[in-house]
Amino acid sequence: MSNAQSEEMIAWIDGAIVPARQARVPVLDHGFLFGDGVFEGIRVTTAGIFRFDDHMRRLEIAARTIGLEVDGGMERVRSIVRETTLAWGRREGYLRLILSRGVGALGLDPASCGTANVICIAAGMVRLPPEKAERGIDLITSSLRRPAGDVLDPRVKSLNYLNNILAKREANLRGADDALMLNAQGQVAEASAANVFVLTGNCLDTPACSDGALEGLTRRTVLEIGSDLGFETQERSLGRFDLFSADSVFYSGSRAGLVPIASLDGSPIDQSARPRLEEIQALFQKRLIELSVSID
């Protein structure tokens, strides 16, 4: 990230909106100390906030799952998101909305924490270099495994992303753009921070949440678009073989959008279905506006 990009970011914290570089979190905040909290990554468009109600619902359930309560409830959180988005202005961007357990003792006990901390960061979109957008990105299969649902349910977007970070680091060290993460059974979960899709014939498939995939809202939108375009859409178990046998592979995320995948572990991925992917991408751009909630 360039200095210009980082300077542009703003953050809502402690009731004020400040340049993100000036925002400060107490060292005894349990989100900082232990990753004790949840978050949402939310797309902002020129029309408003993409799937705002769906994001708030998912955040509310995640917070309830870990027993985290915010003073003022979700209505206060909604107002913070609106205020941050208005300060960001009528431009494309990305919000990182964070609910932390708050300041507590220097120990694991969440009961030592007082008021939950709310932070909302607004940043610009990530743009691929033109050659990457045209060719697609390169993945490696991470040697790490996605934790099972009985360890940490993947539907909870927790602040503990060390598993994902180490997979991304491994990709960097091996000269790739990102990592494909498998679960303990060798089934595809997702990339380090994005959902994976395979196009094979008229089938549009993505890994099931039970295999470790996040229940992404961009993912949900792509599945809806696929049905509208006449694809047979399915959430099912996928292996590396399914990526190599597909006609096209791509991944999706709130900040990244829809990105084609060109290779896995140095072997090329077929891109014969790129025109169909471009259909999905074009309709996704329309849905971004159609499914955005105005904050005026």
149-192: pLDDT as tens digits: 888 888 899 999 999 999 999 999 999 999 999 999 999 999 99
As given in the structure block, the two tokens for residue 108 are 């694991």
Residue 28: CB atoms within 10 A of its CB come to 14
Confidence at residue 184, expressed as pLDDT on a 0 to 100 scale: 96
User: Could you give the CA distance from residue 85 to residue 92 in angstroms, rounded to a whole number?
Assistant: 10
Alpha helices in 3-51 (DSSP H): 3-8, 30-34
Residue 28 has pLDDT above 80, yes or no: yes
pLDDT bracket for residue 90 (50, 70, 90): confident
| Cα diameter, the chain | 56
Average pLDDT over residues 90-97: 95
Q: How many CB atoms lie within 10 A of CB 14?
A: 12
In this predicted structure, the answer to whether residue 4 has a pLDDT above a threshold of 50 is no
pLDDT at 3 over 50: no
Q: Whole-angstrom Cα distance, residue 154 to residue 148?
A: 8
Residue-averaged pLDDT of the chain:
95
Indicate the Cα dihedral angle 116, 150, 153, 143, nearest 10°: 110
* 99 to 143, 261, 271: CA distances (angstroms): 31, 32, 40
In the predicted model, what is the mean pLDDT of residues 259-283?
A: 97
What is the distance, to the nearest Å, from the Cα of residue 160 to the centroid of all Cα atoms in its chain? 14
What angle is formed at CA 173 by the lines to CA 169 and CA 174, rounded to 5 degrees?
Answer: 115
Distance separating alpha carbons of residues 162 and 104, to the nearest angstrom? 22
pLDDT tens figures, 195-208: 999 999 999 999 99
pLDDT score at 126: 86
Q: Which one has a higher pLDDT value, 4 or 96?
A: 96
Cβ–Cβ < 8 Å for 70, 102: no
Residue-level pLDDT at 243: 98
What is residue 63's predicted lDDT score, i.e. its pLDDT? 98
Q: Is 53 exposed, middle or buried, given 0-12, 13-18 or 19+ CB atoms closer than 10 A?
A: exposed
Choose the weakest-confidence range: 45-59, 139-153, 260-274: 139-153
pLDDT of residue 6: 47
Prediction pTM value? 0.94
Alpha carbon distance 120, 11 (integer Å): 5
Question: Among 5-9, 34-38, 149-153, 284-288, which stretch is predicted with the lowest mean pLDDT?
Answer: 5-9
Domains of the chain (ranges, CATH numbers): 3-123 (3.30.470.10), 130-290 (3.20.10.10)
Task: Return the percentage of the chain with pLDDT > 90, whole number.
Answer: 92
